[in-house]
Structure 1
């Protein structure tokens, strides 16, 4: 069976499509991912055949005549699109293929003309509405290499810290300084505002790939990164978000995390210690694990 996937020019959105892509390929199907010329290299990094849509409406891949033209040439039986790539549904209609929409951490359900919609976010974190089927979230962050320092067992609990705004480092470092945990952060002192003091328990590294690091962690501290938040949930890790994103609020409501722009030392200790937050995170992890795996969704599409 031929399956065409439509990916907007967003690495995070592409990565949400990859587990289903691999499931379809390992089941023996002919799979291709279409994207803009500037995004082809990113698609190739997923070890998938890329289709370079040389013409169209720019980078967004929202309404692309080029995608429909390729679909008419290649004649896929199924067209899978990201929540922000409605051109996939239009292409499916043009060739009488099954139109599938796959939602991820960055999407909200909303209305769609797709024949089937799958959601990789568990019901506890999002009300997908009627007609939406679950799919297990399998965290994927692209090709990574396990750092040498990560090949040694940690002497104490480990916390992954990721921040996109340098102004947060000072207050967050103050909050974690007295916590009995190793706080791993991919950053350089050159990234910090003047006067920022790095605590002794903070480990600055060149690279902290979540795929390699999360299985070794006790908790995650982030700035609202939805992709990382969902991955932490899949690993059963309590988390604290500095921003009140929609997903962070839902994780908090599920009892698996906290939301606070100015976290205290006590909150970080509670995060690492687990307790009720650990129980909530475990429940969320189990809910994600119970959802149909990508291979089950691939089998359903085949039927």
Structure 2
């Protein structure tokens, strides 16, 4: 079976499609992922074949005639598209293929969705909106990683992953966690003048795929992909910026939103830990991408 995927120029959105692409490929199907020429290298990093689309709006695939043109040439049986690449559904209609839409952490189900099948990688307890969706297990993926040497040694105490993009948050957070009974690991550039507590470990890189299985909790500033990955690993989390997905995780009791003060008790809060593990079990019980692939074939 030939499967054409359409991805906007966003690594996070491409990574959300990758597990389904791998499931299709390992089942013996021919998979190609279409994207902008400037995004081709990122597609190749998923070990999939890239198709360069040289026309259409650079911001996305909303009006891309190139996608439909390639579909007419290659004649796929299935076209899979990210929620921000609606041209995938149009290309599927042009060649009589099955149109599949994949929702991520930042997307909402749409009652007027024109796709034949909509797959939602957000677990039902965190889903909002209406529309007919098919739940699929979220498989965290952040691109190729190398396990650093320091991570191959057993941690002497609980480890917490820190991921921040807002430099103004470092100072208050470090003040809040100073002396806490865990190791806070981050790779960001700490602003000058910020005091580094003894329990903070600065490293060259913190690949989530390698680090999350060794962690007891996660602190971030609203990163949707990291929030969903932490949920899949059953980790309590603190988001210093409230977004739709982090608010729902907090409402489920598996995380918190707010100031860095909440980070001190993140690993010791038993109720938070139980809710995080329950969320992990819910995600693990959902159909794996390979199960969805089998249904597509039928």
TM bucket, shorter chain: over 0.9
Q: Which runs of 5+ in 2 are unaligned?
A: none
Alignment of structure 1 residues 164-183 onto 2, 5 Å: 164-183=165-184
What is the TM-score of this pair, normalised by structure 1? 0.96
Equivalent-residue separation in structure 2 for 1:130 and 1:196 (angstroms):
47
Which of the numbers 183, 197, 200 marks the counterpart of 1:199? 197
3-state SS of the aligned residue for 2:241?
A: coil
Query: Matched residues in 1 for 2:14 and 2:131: separation?
Result: 25
What secondary structure is seen at the aligned counterpart in 1 of 2:197?
Answer: coil
**8 Å contact from structure 1 (residues 36, 59) kept in 2:** no
Equivalent position to 1:231, from 214, 229, 232: 229
Decide whether the 8 Å contact of 2:113 with 2:131 is kept in 1: no
2:281 alignment partner, one of 275, 286, 291:
286
Q: Equivalents in 1 of 2:57, 2:280: separation in Å?
A: 39
User: Where do 5+ consecutive residues of structure 1 fail to align?
Assistant: none
Offset from partner CA, 1:15-43 (integer Å, 9 cap, x none): 00000000000000000000011000100
Query: Offset at 1:126?
Result: 1.0
1:243 aligned partner: 241
After TM superposition, give the deviation of residue 128 of structure 1 in Å. 5.1
Distance 1:128 1:24, change over 3 A: farther
Q: Aligned-residue CA RMSD in angstroms?
A: 0.9
CA distance in 1, matches of 2:245, 2:124: 12
CA distance in 2, matches of 1:30, 1:128: 33
Q: 1:203 and 1:37 mapped to 2: Cα distance?
A: 38
Bigger Cα displacement from structure 2, 270-279 vs 66-75: 270-279
Q: Does the alignment pair 1:101 with 2:96? A: no
Aligned partners of 2:280, 2:269: CA distance in 1, in Å? 14
Give the CA deviation at 1:181.
0.4
In the alignment, does 2:150 pair up with 1:149?
yes
Q: What is the total number of aligned residue pairs between the two structures?
A: 297
Whether 1:299 aligns to 2:294 is yes
Q: SS state of the match for residue 184, structure 1? A: strand
Task: Note the 1:112-123 alignment, pairs <5 A.
Answer: 112-123=113-124
Alpha-carbon distance between aligned partners in 1 of 2:73 and 2:10, rounded to the nearest angstrom: 26
